[in-house]
A and B are shown apart, each in its own frame.
Chain A
Amino acid sequence: MSENGSAMIEVRGLAKRLGEQEILRGVDLSVAKGETLVIIGRSGGGKSVLLKHLIGLMTPDTGKIWIDGENIIGLSERQLAAVRRKIGILFQGGALFDSMTVEENISFPLHEAGERDPKKINEKVREMLEVIELEGEEKKMPVNLSGGMKKRVGLARSIIQRPSCVLYDEPTAGLDPVVSDSINRLIRRLQKRYAVTSIVVTHDMKSAFHIADRIAYLHEGRIYFYGTPQELEASGDPLIQDFMLGRSERESVAESA
């Protein structure tokens, strides 16, 4: 059992080394059911690596992870399947199956779960297309979709089976401000509509303030700050201020001199 019984996700002392580089150096994190946690941090700081650990796509060197009370460390790929059914993940590039249409991508989890009734499948796909506001695009191939559309289809595919938790890997990275805003609104809408626990990895501060219940700042492989968006904003910590204002280290040193 996890230390905190009501937590959807709990992480203790997670450490991971990739080659010579120490990516995570003992991450502790707890996400309550229904909560939206945004993990911010510099690019290459291990945010995506942390997210991949939460769904068992990577194995830590040390540390423990509980998903809905179950320790997932040490589970085999096949044993992880049951845990993974509770979690949806939106990959940075959408990770759509490029040999399938939008419709086939979205309905993929239903087919895999053994659903054979075309009427039911169609109904659920329509509902998802409406949620992601992509009605009429169902016959398109992923190669013909824009970055934002790919992410929305990826999101529909990950939530069609109603997971209790959704992980988002840089949902707004590389998108223009208007599309970014539509993705943020979509994440908010999903939270309200399905009451899912969400973990969003991003370095987009606007997005973070828009969707977060709590924010964690990952710095040098550890959680440097954990609190509400208001607490983050009020923080006088120079490192956090630099990150929020987008100041590079050199400039901040020059200014303080």
Chain B
Amino acid sequence: MFTGLLSALGGRAISFATYVGDVVMLAMETIGAAFAHKIRWRLFLQQIVEIGLRSQVVVMITGAFTGAVFAAQTYFQFNKLGMGSAVGAVVSVSVCRELGPVLTALMVTGRVGASMSAEIGTMKVTEQIDALRALAVHPIDYLVIPRLLAMMLSMPLLVAECVAIGIAAGYFVAIFLLEVNGTYYMANMVRWTQLRDIIMALSKAVIFALLIVFISCHKGLTSREGAVGVGKATTEAVVNASLAVLIFNFFLTMGLNIIFPAGYQ
């Protein structure tokens, strides 16, 4: 029984390592090809529309309600200590460093990551990817590179948008609903929020973009036959990319905090 358990664990570990290796190989090949081969700008623009433009509403709503509820909860606690005007600083720094990038990444994973793996997966099972290859077009050049570039450009902008709207919503809730003093609120927020918090938000955005693109495209490209295969690939892409975002976020926070420490210096 013990050997059975060990062998099952070993099997899982090997398949996990193989999977990570495959995704890393795809990433390396794509980044190499992006420099070496022609870029299809029309497809890149189409992806910008799909990823950047069509994610606006989702990201704005996410940012607005997260900022609003976070401001309210912070106020309920801080107000007991007479620190209501510090709410702005807490909301702003937290939204920049954590909530903005992570929630945007999770929403983009659900919306864009799922559609990437479903679209590429469907192309795989209907022989459209074989047709591309037969027409001497490399699937990475045609499918992955435009998505990678569009995500690299869109994600920082979407995160910036989410952060800005989160801060604005927090301000609105604190000043107009909870009647915090606006002048102190703003003064504390500006004092405690630094350029490094914004750099951290944007750095995380770029890394999350890479995770979402490669995990989703890899699942699509390795999708198995039939509608069940595509459905499974899509679900796994969303789950894996979401988990990767959350796990990487912790390590990024710890690592980036050394370069860009939080708090007033």
* Chain A positions near chain B (C-beta within 8 angstroms): 52, 55-57, 77-78, 80-82, 84-85, 87-89, 91-93, 95-98, 108-109, 112, 154, 157-158
Nearest CB in chain B: distance from A1 CB, A: 23
Determine if B73 is an interface residue (Cβ-Cβ < 8 Å): no
**Are B134 and A158 neighbours in the complex by a CB distance under 8 Å?**
yes
20 A-B pairs with C-beta separation under 8 A: A55-B134, A57-B133, A57-B134, A78-B138, A84-B133, A84-B134, A85-B136, A88-B134, A91-B130, A93-B126, A93-B127, A95-B126, A95-B128, A96-B128, A96-B131, A97-B128, A97-B131, A98-B126, A108-B135, A112-B135
Q: Which of A91, A112, A154 touches B137 (beta carbons < 8 Å)?
A: A112
Q: How distant is the Cα of A20 from the Cα of B122 in the complex, in angstroms?
A: 26
Q: How distant is the Cα of A91 from the Cα of B137 in the complex, in angstroms?
A: 16
Q: How distant is the Cα of A97 from the Cα of B143 in the complex, in angstroms?
A: 12
Q: How distant is the Cα of A56 from the Cα of B134 in the complex, in angstroms?
A: 8
Question: Chain A residues with Cβ under 8 A from B133's Cβ?
Answer: 56-57, 77, 80, 84
Question: Chain A residues with Cβ under 8 A from B128's Cβ?
Answer: 95-98
Q: Which of B122, B131, B136, B138 touches A91 (beta carbons < 8 Å)?
A: B131
Q: Which of A81, A96, A98, A157 touches B136 (beta carbons < 8 Å)?
A: A81
Q: Name the residue on A nearest B37 (C-beta).
A: A78
Question: Chain B residues with Cβ under 8 A from A108's Cβ?
Answer: 135
Q: Name the residue on B nearest A113 (C-beta).
A: B136
Nearest CB in chain A: distance from B196 CB, A: 42
**Are A112 and B131 neighbours in the complex by a CB distance under 8 Å?**
no
Nearest CB in chain B: distance from A106 CB, A: 12
Question: Chain B residues with Cβ under 8 A from A89's Cβ?
Answer: 131, 134
Question: Chain B residues with Cβ under 8 A from A52's Cβ?
Answer: 130
Q: Name the residue on A nearest B46 (C-beta).
A: A99
8 A Cβ contacts from B116-141 to A: 122-123, 126-128, 130-131, 133-138
**Are A84 and B138 neighbours in the complex by a CB distance under 8 Å?**
no
Q: How distant is the Cα of A98 from the Cα of B138 in the complex, in angstroms?
A: 18
Question: Chain B residues with Cβ under 8 A from A112's Cβ?
Answer: 135-137
**Are A91 and B127 neighbours in the complex by a CB distance under 8 Å?**
yes
Known: A52-B130, A93-B126, A95-B130. A77 touches B135 (CB 8 A): no
**Apart from A97-B128, A98-B122: 11 A-B pairs, beta carbons within 8 A:** A55-B134, A57-B133, A80-B136, A82-B136, A84-B135, A96-B128, A112-B136, A112-B137, A154-B131, A157-B135, A158-B134
* Residue picked from B128, B136, B138, most chain A C-beta under 10 Å: B136
Nearest CB in chain B: distance from A248 CB, A: 27
Q: How distant is the Cα of A155 from the Cα of B130 in the complex, in angstroms?
A: 15
Nearest CB in chain A: distance from B145 CB, A: 14
Q: Name the residue on B nearest A82 (C-beta).
A: B136
8 A Cβ contacts from B130-159 to A: 130-131, 133-138
Q: Name the residue on B nearest A91 (C-beta).
A: B127
Nearest CB in chain B: distance from A88 CB, A: 8
Q: Name the residue on A nearest B140 (C-beta).
A: A77
Q: How distant is the Cα of A154 from the Cα of B132 in the complex, in angstroms?
A: 12
Nearest CB in chain A: distance from B119 CB, A: 8
Q: How distant is the Cα of A237 from the Cα of B135 in the complex, in angstroms?
A: 40
Q: How distant is the Cα of A149 from the Cα of B40 in the complex, in angstroms?
A: 29
**Are B138 and A77 neighbours in the complex by a CB distance under 8 Å?**
yes
Nearest CB in chain A: distance from B89 CB, A: 48
Nearest CB in chain A: distance from B126 CB, A: 7
Nearest CB in chain B: distance from A83 CB, A: 9
8 A Cβ contacts from B80-132 to A: 122-123, 126-128, 130-131
